[in-house]
Structure 1
Amino acid sequence: MSLELASTVSFATPSKSTLQQWQQWPTVGSADLDFMFFDVYTSQLRSPEGQYQVGNDLSPHPVALAITYERNISKKHLLKETKKQWEHLGYNTNQSSEWLVRLGNIYPDVALGDQLVYITDGLSGAFVYIQKDGLTQWRGEITDEALNDAFLAIWLSPNTEYPKHRQQLIGLN
């Protein structure tokens, strides 16, 4: 596996060891997202202890959310869907617009078999993009705890658009 590091990205937190160890963490749960007859992605939640602590705080401890895409999806479409999910969850439009600009600098265009992983220590996080050929690239860091939680809320909030998906991810069924 080769690794590309973007020189403009700083990884003060989460720690570099957290960013490197997530693949050894036990799986909490996994779920497939399908739309009509189309497979969209498979998601997997991992944590150092293999458990997710359900509570008011969506990220009370380190977790890694790995999304393996089952089709090609443009960065533009990923941003559109992120916006749609935040609207569903009731996030402030002005705030989410700022977050979308930030994510626009991080999200890649993804292809079938690629994986986008968000690794968080519970306060901040980083995105890692793993192409199907194994090429790994650090995409960017999230240091804003509100954005960290908002991103995870798409999958982990009790108010998510896909509650069965959430239950599978957090190991409830």
Structure 2
Amino acid sequence: MHRFISLFIFFSICVVHSAKAHSTGYESFKPVAGETTYRYLFWDVYSAQLFTPTGQYNPEDPLALLLTYKMTLKGKDIAERSIKEMRLQGLKDKSKQVAWGNTLKTIFPDVGDGDVLLGQKNADGSTSFYYNNNQIGFIDDADFTSWFFNIWLGQKTSEPALRAELLGLEGNKK
């Protein structure tokens, strides 16, 4: 029963929109650093760019993380990897892992070479998701937003070199 209540509360504050053309609002943002590429073994998985209103990263400010995929991946796998990365950073709350994982599985589409997923941290702490410039989801949960963007930007990221490149940190680039 506790799990049902937790899921009900979570889904009450999460709104998943159907795909529609929508201005992301990040167009006026400035890039924080150059483009970087996430590689797994021998494969380029995606290129990543970070944008903020000022061109400087502040974890309290809005941001947009743009991922341009270079290979085919299932949306379900992207969602599961996102939750795995949150766990690796210390997310222990199982009900959040399940609820957020289920929500991300409904949001993330399958992607192919050239497809773009954009995650946008909004000023109110919510997250908007876009696929090839169409809004595909919205999660109104500041805790989720923090854990999600820390996959790439948090100090406990599993990819510190990628983080350094996104943030333009000197001496830590690949």
Asked if structure 2 preserves the Cα contact closer than 8 Å seen for 1:51 and 1:171, the reply is no
The equivalent of 1:150 in structure 2 is 147
Larger Rg: 2
- Secondary structure at the counterpart of residue 25 of structure 2: helix
**Cα deviations across residues 110-155 of structure 1 (Å, max 9, x unaligned)?**
111000001112411200100xxxxx32101010101111110100
The equivalent of 1:23 in structure 2 is 27
Asked if structure 2 preserves the Cα contact closer than 8 Å seen for 1:32 and 1:165, the reply is yes
The equivalent of 1:124 in structure 2 is 126
Q: Distance in 2 between matches of 1:82 and 1:9?
A: 20
The gaps in structure 2 that reach 5 residues or longer are 1-15
Q: Percent of pairs identical after alignment?
A: 30
The equivalent of 1:36 in structure 2 is 41
- Secondary structure at the counterpart of residue 33 of structure 1: strand
Structure 1 runs of 4+ aligned residues shifted over 6 Å read none
1:9 Cα deviation from its structure 2 partner: 2.5
The gaps in structure 1 that reach 5 residues or longer are 1-7, 11-15, 54-58, 131-135
Structure number with the higher helix fraction is 2
RMSD: 1.7
Give the count of matched residue pairs: 149
TM-score by length of 1: 0.80
Asked if structure 1 preserves the Cα contact closer than 8 Å seen for 2:24 and 2:130, the reply is no
Q: Note if 1:50 corresponds to 2:72.
A: no
1:28 Cα deviation from its structure 2 partner: 0.5
Q: Distance in 1 between matches of 2:127 and 2:86?
A: 18
Q: Distance in 1 between matches of 2:120 and 2:83?
A: 20
